[in-house]
Structure 1
C-alpha cells in the first residue's frame, strides 16, 4: 500500500514538473485574420509601459505586408500636445500562427541588439466584427484594450474589462485614454 501511495505521489510530482509555463500564460484568440486586423486601432486603456509614460492618447496603425509580416506605426499624443511616433514590424512567433507576434521597433536599441530587442504582442481577444481587441503579453505585465473608435459604450468597456480579468490581468492598473475635452487647446 505504501509503495502504491509513493508511486502515485511521484507520478503527480512528475506530471506537475512536466507542465510548461505556457499552461499558466493567458489564452490567445486563436487564428486572427491579419488582413481584417490591419488598419487603425485606438488605445482605450493600457497597463503602464515605459515608452508610453507621457502618452495621453495613443493609436496604432497596422498594415499587412507581402511576407505575412505586419508593418507597425504607433503614435502617441502627449499631454503637451505633441506627437511621439514609432515604426516597427510584427512577425508571427510561430510560422502560420497569427495570434502570437513579435514586435520589433526601428530604433537605436534594436540596432544595437538586433536579435534580442523584440516584444511579445499576444492578441488575447478580437471581436467577431474586428472592432475591439485585447492585446497583452505572457507575464501579464502589459495590456492594451483597443477599439476602432476612440470611445466605446459602457457595455463594451465592461465586456473588455471582464475578459481581461478572466485572463488574470489586474485591471485596476489600467491607465485610461485622456478624453479629448481634457486635452490642452
Structure 2
C-alpha cells in the first residue's frame, strides 16, 4: 500500500513539473527584442494574419484574425478566429494576455486555457500607423505577420519576411493565409 502511495505521489510530482514546464513557455527567443515604446491603445482592435509558421492549433484555418481589447484590470483580451475548411465552421479561441514587464514593452504572456500560457512578443511594428506587426512566440518555431488589412502590400510583406529571416526564423516554412469568402472542402450539409 505504501508503495502505491509513493508511486502516485511521484506521478503527481511529475505531472506538476510538466505543467510548470509547458505552462511557463513565455520567454523571448535569443536576440529577439520586443518593441519599445509600445502603445496598447493603438495596438488594440482587429488584425489579419497574413503569414504564419504552421502549428496544429491553426492548421487548415483561413481568414484568421486576432482581435485585442483592453480590460479594466490592465490585461489584454484576445480573440483569435479562423475558418476551418474541413468542418465548414468558424473556430474561436478566447484568451487573456498580461504584460511581462512594463506596459510600454510589447512582451506579453497569453493564456487561452489555464494553466498553459505562451509568449507573445511584437519585435517589429509599423510605429507610424500600427498597420503591421511581426510577432514571435517563446521560440523561433512561432512567427506571425499581422496587418490591419487582409490585402497587405507584397513589397512590405517581402521586407518583413527578410527581417524575420535576419532574426533567425525559418521563413521558408511560412504559410500565406488566405482571406476572402470562406470556402469548404466538403459539402456543409455533411458536417451537421
Which of 120-129 and 92-101 deviates more?
Answer: 92-101
Unaligned runs of 5+ in 1: 1-20
Report matched runs for 1:1-185 at 5 Å.
24-80=30-86, 81-105=88-112, 107=113, 110=114, 114=115, 117-128=116-127, 129-180=129-180, 183-184=183-184
Q: How many residues align?
A: 157
The 1:97/1:36 distance shift into structure 2, 3 A limit, reads closer
Deviation at 1:97, TM superposition (A): 4.7
| Contact 2:106 2:123 (8 Å CA) reproduced | yes
**Partners of 2:28 and 2:95 in 1: CA distance:** 26
- Judging changes above 3 Å, is the alpha-carbon distance between structure 1 residues 96 and 147 closer, same or farther for their aligned structure 2 residues? closer
Separation in 1 of the partners of 2:169 and 2:136? Answer: 9
> Any idea what SS the aligned residue of 2:162 has?
helix
Q: Deviations over 1:149-182 (max 9, x none)?
A: 1121111111211111121111111111125378
CA positional deviation for 1:118: 0.3
Structure 1 residues 67 and 31: CA distance shift in structure 2, 3 A: farther
Deviation of the 1:53 alpha carbon: 1.4
Please give the secondary structure, in 1, of the residue aligned with 2:67: strand
Q: Distance in 2 between matches of 1:24 and 1:71?
A: 27
> In the aligned structure 2, how far is the partner of 1:87 from the partner of 1:181?
23
- Cα pair 2:28 2:121 within 8 Å, conserved: no
**Unmatched 5+ residue regions in structure 2?**
1-26, 188-192
1:180 partner SS: coil
Q: Aligned partners of 1:142, 1:120: CA distance in 2, in Å?
A: 10
Instruction: Give a deviation string over 1:38-59, Cα, whole Å, max 9, x none.
Output: 0000000111122111312210
1:23 CA drift (Å):
8.4
CA distance, structure 2, for counterparts of residue 34 and residue 123 of structure 1: 11
RMSD after superposition: 2.2
TM-score normalised according to structure 2 size: 0.74
